[in-house]
Amino acid sequence: MKKINYLRVSVTDRCNFRCRYCMPEGTKEFIPHPEILRYEEITEIVKVFTEFGIDSVRLTGGEPLVRKGIENLIAQIRELKEIEDISLTTNGYLLSEKARSLKEHGLDRVNISIDTLKPKKFAFITGTGDINALSKVLLGLKKAIEKGLEPVKVNTVLIKGFNDEEIESFIKLSEDYGVEVRFIELMPVGGKFFSKENFISIASIKEKIEKEFGKLIPAQTKKNGPAKSFIVEGTNARIGFIPSISEHFCDSCNRVRLTSDGKLRLCLMSDKEVNLKSVIRNPEYKRHHLRKAIAEALLKKSGINGIEALESLGCSRKMFTIGG
């Protein structure tokens, strides 16, 4: 059986942004509140997962910082001694006001999604129409570093003709803030936004960087998941690459996902899900029921190959309901 040690937990499908590649325009339907796992239920599920070797948890969404009392969930997970690393992926909009309390409640580190460093384009791609949104997110980035939510990483989804001319600015961002910028390939999970025309491969971005800015020197980074990190020669910039589409990484995949409505998703790209909420909400619930459900599910994971799922478009969920 594969070694699975990383659990991504989506705490909500709601979001204060409407990124065009994630949440299709006009999305109005969200999971009804009673169907969303309560914090105690998430903690119980994480607890049982630790018995199967999970030692890292990432909170995601939707936007995890819009869920009320997210700090309480962090504190509950922090109590589990088997969990070594608690991280959170955020759009950063609420981070400047929350960074301190997130740290105090036990969060280790954050990843912040920033796809462009131009305020107007940022307002467009995030669907906020807010020209000040980017500066608010950059303030969040600064605060996260100040409060020690490190290593802070920036996630940038590559979109051809939109941000592939901003590579130099992202290199500068990495140097100025001392953070790793990770370029991610656009995936076909956000409704109609994805197309061959706006897809740009990691290989072509690497080539562009080496041609225009300097050789990419492999770097070691702790806790880097599927990203491969490099230093751009002659600079202090640290750049990571996640070729989710062009170089699938099923063989080295160490993760599973829990959706906010309590479904265990064995592969990002496959709709094979196991309903853990129905186990945990059964009035006769005992911990061994969850143990059995998780054990059976993890056995199935080794039979999944995401790229096949991708080719057959086995992923019917939108990204904001999975959490990336």
- Which residues of the chain form contacts with ligand SF4 (CB under 6 A)? 15, 17-19, 22-23, 61-63, 91, 113, 319-320
Among residues 186 and 202, whose Cβ is nearest to ligand SAM?
Answer: 186
For the chain, where are the E strands, in sequence order? Answer: 6-10, 56-60, 85-90, 109-113, 153-158, 180-185, 216-219, 228-232, 238-242, 255-258, 263-265, 273-275
- What whole-number distance in Å separates Cα of residue 163 and Cα of residue 178? 21
Among residues 4 and 19, whose Cβ is nearest to ligand SF4?
Answer: 19
Burial per residue of 189-200, b for 16 or more beta-carbon CB atoms within 10 angstroms, e otherwise: bbbebbeeebbb
DSSP 196: G
Which residue bears the tokens 């869920």? 67
The C-alpha angle with vertex 37 and arms to 31 and 39, in degrees rounded to 5, equals: 135
- Out of 225, 243, 262, 324, the only residue in the binding site for ligand SAM (CB under 6 A) is 324
Phi-psi region of 48 (alpha: psi -120 to 50; beta: other; left: phi over 0): alpha
Q: Least distance from C-beta 263 to ligand SAM, angstroms?
A: 16
- Are the C-beta atoms of 295 and 276 separated by less than 8 Å? no
Among residues 113 and 270, whose Cβ is nearest to ligand SF4?
Answer: 113
- Are the C-beta atoms of 215 and 186 separated by less than 8 Å? no
Per CB under 6 A, which region of 85-93, 136-144, 162-170, 269-277 contacts ligand SAM? 85-93
Dihedral of alpha carbons 109, 245, 189, 22, sign:
positive
323 binds ligand SAM (CB under 6 A): yes
- Out of 12, 43, 56, 60, the only residue in the binding site for ligand SAM (CB under 6 A) is 60
Among residues 14 and 143, whose Cβ is nearest to ligand SF4?
Answer: 14
Q: Least distance from C-beta 89 to ligand SAM, angstroms?
A: 4
Among residues 242 and 279, whose Cβ is nearest to ligand SAM?
Answer: 242
Looking only at residues 93 through 152 of this chain, which bind ligand SAM when binding is defined by CB under 6 A?
113
Residues 6+ apart with CB under 8 A from 251: none
Looking only at residues 17 through 56 of this chain, which bind ligand SAM when binding is defined by CB under 6 A?
21-22
70 binds ligand SAM (CB under 6 A): no
225 binds ligand SAM (CB under 6 A): no
Residues near ligand SAM (CB under 6 A) are 15, 21-22, 60-61, 63, 89-91, 113, 155, 157, 184, 186-187, 189-190, 319-320, 323-324
